[in-house]
Amino acid sequence: MSFGNILGAWVTVFLTLAILSYLYKDNPFYKIAEHLYVGVSAAYWGTIAFWNQVWPNLFGRLWPHIDNPESLNGFNKFWYKLYNGFHWLNGSMFPENGIPGDQTQNLWYIVALFLGLFMLARLIPSINWLGRWSLAYVVGMAAGLRIFGFMSSNVIAQIHGSILPLWGHGLGSALNNLVLIVGTVSGLFFFFFSVEHKGIFGKISRVGIYFLMISFGASFGFAIMGRISLLIGRFNKLIEYSSSQYGYATFILLAVMVITLLVLNIGKKEEEVE
Amino acid sequence: MSKFLENLDKIDRRYIFLIIAIVVMLPLIFPLGLPVEPTNLTIDAFDAVNKIPKDDKVLVSFDYGPSTKPEIHPMAIAVLRHLFTNGNRVIITCLWPDGLFMARDALEQVAHKEFDLKYGVDYVNLGYRPGNEAVIKGITRSFPANFTVDSKGTEIKKIPLMDGMQSLKDVGFIFSLSAGYPGSKEWVQYASDPLKITSSTGVTSIQVNEILPFVKSEQLNGIVAGMPGAAEYEQLLVKNGIHPTIGTAGKSMDAQSIAHLVIVLFIIIGNISYFAKRKKEKKY
Amino acid sequence: MILKRYIPLAIVFIVGMTMLASWFIPHAPFGAFEIHATQWFDIIASFAMILGALNLLKVHSLKLIHKKLNWQYSLIAILGFFLTLTFGFIMKGGHYLVLTDVGNTPDAVVQEISTELQLKNNVANNLYITPKIEEGIELKKYYYTQNSAIDFKNRLENVGAIAEVKEVVWGSHLQADNTFFSWLFRNIFTSLSATMFALLAFFVASASYRAFKVRNMEATILLVAGVIIMIGRVPLGVFITNWIPKDSFFSFLRLEILQEWIYQFPNAAGARAIMIGIGLGIVGTSLRVILGIEKSFLGEK
C-alpha cells in the first residue's frame, strides 16, 4: 500500500467524520470541512471547465496547432504572435505553435471568447452589465432548446402514451390502463387553476389530488431510499478504512474527534458556569 | 402511559441519529443474506441491453458524481459487465465533470481488470464537456465538433472505435446513468426521442418518479431504480450466468431493508404520539 | 438602455428563434449554426463556472481582509481553493516511463517490469504493456513525483534497458492515475461531497419521526403509499409476505407485488400529470423569454 493511498485514506476518514460530527452539534471540525469543501469544489469546477472545454474547444479553435509557422502571413502571423505570449507564460500548458488536437481554425470563436470574458466582467461592478449579453445568449439558447424538447417528449409523447386500450387485452390490463388514464386526466384537472374547483370539476380535481398524493408518497419513499443508500456508501468506506492495512484510521480518528469534542464541550460548560 | 406517549415526539433528535447509524452499520458488518428479487422494470432494462446487436455501438453516459456513487456506480459496473460480456463496443461520455472519474473507475475495474479489453478498440472514454443539454444537441449533429479529443487527450480521428462515427445517429443504444440534471431526461428529449434511438437508464431513487413517465410511454426501455435496482440488476447477471457473484449493491440491501423498517417504525411511533396528544386536546 | 436592455433582448430573440428553427430545418445555415451555437453555449457555460470560482474567492477574501466573524474558516476555504488550482494548473504528477530499448538481457528487463507493475505470471505481453517498440512501450504505472519514476528508470538501466520519463498531458492529468488532482478528487472532494449528502439520511429519519403526521385523508394516502413502496422495494418486503403463495388469489397482497402495482400505475399516472404540467409551463415560459415578455434574467420585472 503506497504512502499516497494511506494518506488518502486518513484524509477521507477525517473529512467524513468531521462532516458527520455535525449530527452532534456545529463544531470546529465541521466548519473546517465545510469551508474546505466550498473552496475545493469552486476551484475544481473551474479547473474542469477550463481543461475540458476552454482549452481544447476554444483555444484549440482559435490557435490550432500548425506544423510550419513560417508559412503564416497577414492577420494569422499577428494572431499567432499573440499566442506566443501565452506560450512564453507557460510553455507546458500552451505548447509551441498552437494547441494540439484536431480542430480547424475558426475565428468566429473570438465572439465566444468575448462573450465568455463578458461573463467574467460580472465581477467588476462598473462593467458587470456586459454579463447580460452572455447571459442573454445562454438564456436564449436554453429557451430555444427546451421548447421543442419539452413539447415533444414531455407533453406530446406523454399524451400519446396515455391513449391506452380499455378492452381487448384482458380485464387486468383494462383496469390498469383505466387507472393510468383516470389518474393522468384527473391530475391535469387539478393543475388547471383558471376555473374554480367546484361541482363536477371539483370532484374530478379531488380524485386527481389523491393520485398526486400517491405519487408524492412514492417520491417520499424513494427519497428515503436514496438517502439511506448514500449513507450506506459512506459507512462502507469507513468500514474499509478501519482495517490494519490503513492503520485503523477510522477507530483512531473517531476516538480523537470524540475526545476533542468532549473536552471542548466541558470547557464551554465551565465558561458558561463562570 | 398517555403522558409517555405524548412526550415521545420530544425526544432529542440525536438519539434518532444514533439509532439510524447503528441500524445501518450493523447489517454491513453482520450481513443477513436477505434474497433480492428483480422487479419488472429492471428486467425490462436488462432485456433491452441483452437484445443489443453485437455490431451496434453503445453510448453509456456517466451523469453522476461521488455524492450519488453508492446508488449508481454498482449499476454502472453491472451494465458494463453485461455489455462487454455480450461483445458490444462502448463509447463513454460524461455530462457531469465528476462523471469523468466515475467512468475511469468503472472502466478500470471492468474493462481493464475483468475483461482485458483494448482501449480505443473495444471502448473509449470521450470525457466531459460542459454545456448540459447543448452537448447532447451538439452530438446529434456532429461528434467530432464537440469531442475533438478523448479524456486522455488523444485526437478522436486516431481512435479506431470512433472511425466513421459522425454523430449520435451512428450509435445503436444509449444507456444513461443519471443522478439529476443533466441526465436521462435530457437524453430522452434531445437524443432518444428525436433520433428514435433505443435507450434505457439507471437513476437515483430520488429521480425515479421524474423519469417513470418516459418508461411508461416506451421512450425508455425499463429503468434501474436506485441501489435496490442496482442490486436487482446484479442478481439478474448472476441468474443469467454473466457474473458469478452479486456486487456492492446486493450486499448493501440488508442495511437498506433494516433502515427502511426502522424509519417506518419511527413514523408509526410519531403518529401514536400525535394521536395521543390529539385525544388529550379533544378531551379538554 | 440600448446596451443594457435592448441588445440582450435582441440576442435572446435571435438566438432563441434560430435555435428553434434549427429543430425543423437541418440544412445550412441552421445545421452549421446549431453545431457552433451549442459549442459557444458550452464555452460560455465554462466561463460561468470560472466566474463562480472567482466570485467565491472574492467573497472569502473580503471576509478575511475585513476580519469578519469566523474569518479563520475563510482562510481554509481560500487555501483549499489554491491547493486545487495548484494541482490543476501547476503540479501535475502522473509521471510514467516509456521503454525505448530492452537491451541485451530482455528477461531481466521483463522481470523488473513485472515486479514493478505487479503483473500476473511475469508475462510481458500483458495488457499493461503495448508492443510497438518503434514508438516506445508505455509502461502503465504512474508516479506522483519525478524522482520515483527516475528510480524505476535507473533500475531498468541497471539491467540494460533504456527508458524515458514522461508526464501525462495536460487535460488527461485530471483523471489519470497518481496525479495530484485525481488524489484531491478521490480523497478530499469525494469524501466531502458524498458525506454532505449522506447527512441527509439522518435528517430525513428525524423529519419522518417528528413531522410526518396523519392529519387528513391526503396525508394518510401519502403515508400508506410511501410505506408500501419503502418496504416493498427492499428484500425485507419480499421476506415479510413470503408466506402468501404467488399463484393464489391473494398474491396481490404480497408487498413486492402491491408496491410494483402502485409504482407502475397510480404513481405513474400522478407523475405523468406532473410531467405534462411542468412541460407546458416550461414551453410557456421559454416562449415568454424569447419574445422578451419575461425579463427577470436581466434583473428587471
Q: Does B256 touch chain A (CB under 8 A)?
A: yes
Which residues 162-181 on chain C approach chain A with CB closer than 8 angstroms? 169-171, 174, 178, 181
Contact indicator for C255, C235 with CB cutoff of 8 Å: no
- Burial degree of B78 (CB within 10 A; 0-12, 13-18, 19+): buried
> Best-predicted range by mean pLDDT among A18-22, A196-200, C96-100?
A18-22
| pLDDT surpassing 60 at residue C125 | no
User: In the numeric block, which cell numbers belong to residue B5?
Assistant: 406517549
Question: Closest-CA residue in chain C for B141?
Answer: C35
- Closest Cα of chain A to B88: distance in Å? 27
Which residues 74-103 on chain C approach chain B with CB closer than 8 angstroms? none
pLDDT tens-digit series, residues C133-151: 556 788 878 899 999 999 9
Reduce the DSSP state of residue C97 to 3 states and report it: strand
Q: How far is CA C137 from the centre of its chain?
A: 32
Tell if the CB–CB gap between C38 and B138 is shorter than 8 Å.
yes
Q: Round to whole Å and give the CA distance between B196 and B242.
A: 29
User: In the numeric block, which cell numbers belong to residue A14?
Assistant: 477525517
Give the pLDDT score at A200: 93
Question: Closest-CA residue in chain A for B149?
Answer: A101
Residue of A220, B165, A174, B39 whose CA lies nearest to C218: A220
Q: What are phi and psi of B241, to 5 degrees?
A: 70, 20
User: In the numeric block, which cell numbers belong to residue A213?
Assistant: 398524493
Query: What pLDDT band is residue C132 in, cutting at 50, 70 and 90?
Result: very low
Buried b (16+ CB within 10 A) or exposed e, C111-142: ebbbeeeebeeeebebebbeeeeeebbebebb
Question: Closest-CA residue in chain A for B16?
Answer: A23
Give the pLDDT score at B212: 95
What average pLDDT does this structure show over A232-243? 94
Contact indicator for C180, C92 with CB cutoff of 8 Å: yes
Contact indicator for B136, B187 with CB cutoff of 8 Å: yes
Give the pLDDT score at A248: 94
Query: What pLDDT band is residue C120 in, cutting at 50, 70 and 90?
Result: low
pLDDT tens-digit series, residues C155-187: 999 988 888 999 888 888 887 888 999 999 999
Give the pLDDT score at C135: 65
Give the pLDDT score at B111: 92
Q: Within C66-167, where are the H helices?
A: 71-89, 106-117, 146-158
Side-chain-side CA neighbours of B211 within 13 Å: the count stands at 32
Interface with C, mutate which of B167, B257, B272 (most C CBs under 10 A): B257
Taking 70 as the pLDDT cut, the residues of chain B under it are 6
Q: Round to whole Å and give the CA distance between B143 and B166.
A: 6
Q: Mean pLDDT lowest for which of A151-160, B243-252, C26-35?
A: C26-35
Contact indicator for A101, B155 with CB cutoff of 8 Å: yes
Q: Round to whole Å and give the CA distance between A225 and A229.
A: 6
User: In the numeric block, which cell numbers belong to residue A64?
Assistant: 490550432
| pLDDT surpassing 70 at residue C126 | no
Give the pLDDT score at C121: 55
ipTM associated with this complex: 0.90
Q: Does C209 touch chain A (CB under 8 A)?
A: no
> Best-predicted range by mean pLDDT among A184-188, B148-152, C67-71?
A184-188
Pick from A49, A141, A152: which is nearest to B130 by CB? A49
| CA-atom Rg of chain C in angstroms | 30
Give the pLDDT score at A12: 96
- Closest Cα of chain A to C167: distance in Å? 11
Q: Average pLDDT, whole number, for chain A?
A: 91
Q: Does B166 touch chain C (CB under 8 A)?
A: no
Give the pLDDT score at C119: 67
| pLDDT surpassing 80 at residue C269 | yes
What average pLDDT does this structure show over A66-86? 86
Residue of B153, B149, B139 whose CA lies nearest to B57: B139
pLDDT tens-digit series, residues A94-111: 888 888 876 788 899 999
Which residues 255-274 on chain C approach chain A with CB closer than 8 angstroms? 261-274
| pLDDT surpassing 80 at residue A78 | yes
Contact indicator for B209, A218 with CB cutoff of 8 Å: yes
What average pLDDT does this structure show over A182-208? 92
- Closest Cα of chain A to B110: distance in Å? 20
Pick from A50, A228, A234: which is nearest to C50 by CB? A50
Q: Does B130 touch chain C (CB under 8 A)?
A: yes
Q: Round to whole Å and give the CA distance between C42 and B51.
A: 35
| pLDDT surpassing 90 at residue C31 | no
- Closest Cα of chain C to B51: distance in Å? 23
Q: How many Cβ atoms from other residues are within 10 Å of residue C5's Cβ? A: 16
Tell if the CB–CB gap between A52 and B14 is shorter than 8 Å.
no
Q: Does B137 touch chain C (CB under 8 A)?
A: yes
Q: Does B28 touch chain A (CB under 8 A)?
A: yes
Q: Round to whole Å and give the CA distance between A58 and A41.
A: 23
β-pairing verdict for C95-101 and C162-167: antiparallel
Q: Round to whole Å and give the CA distance between B96 and B92.
A: 12
What average pLDDT does this structure show over C34-58? 89
Contact indicator for A13, A249 with CB cutoff of 8 Å: yes
Q: Does C61 touch chain B (CB under 8 A)?
A: no
Q: Round to whole Å and give the CA distance between C150 and C158.
A: 12
Tell if the CB–CB gap between C191 and A148 is shorter than 8 Å.
no
Size of interface A-B (CB pairs under 8 A): 144
To the nearest 10 degrees (0 to 180), the angle between helices A199-240 and C266-290 is 100
| pLDDT surpassing 80 at residue C152 | yes
Q: Does C278 touch chain B (CB under 8 A)?
A: no
What average pLDDT does this structure show over C19-39? 82
| pLDDT surpassing 60 at residue A212 | yes
pLDDT tens-digit series, residues B45-98: 999 999 999 989 999 999 999 989 999 999 999 999 999 999 999 999 999 988
Tell if the CB–CB gap between A147 and C287 is shorter than 8 Å.
yes
Q: Does B159 touch chain C (CB under 8 A)?
A: no
Task: List Cα–Cα distances, A232 to A46, A228, A237, in angstroms.
Answer: 30, 6, 9
- Closest Cα of chain A to B283: distance in Å? 31
DSSP bridge pairs for C129: C139
| pLDDT surpassing 50 at residue C130 | no
Tell if the CB–CB gap between B131 and C42 is shorter than 8 Å.
yes
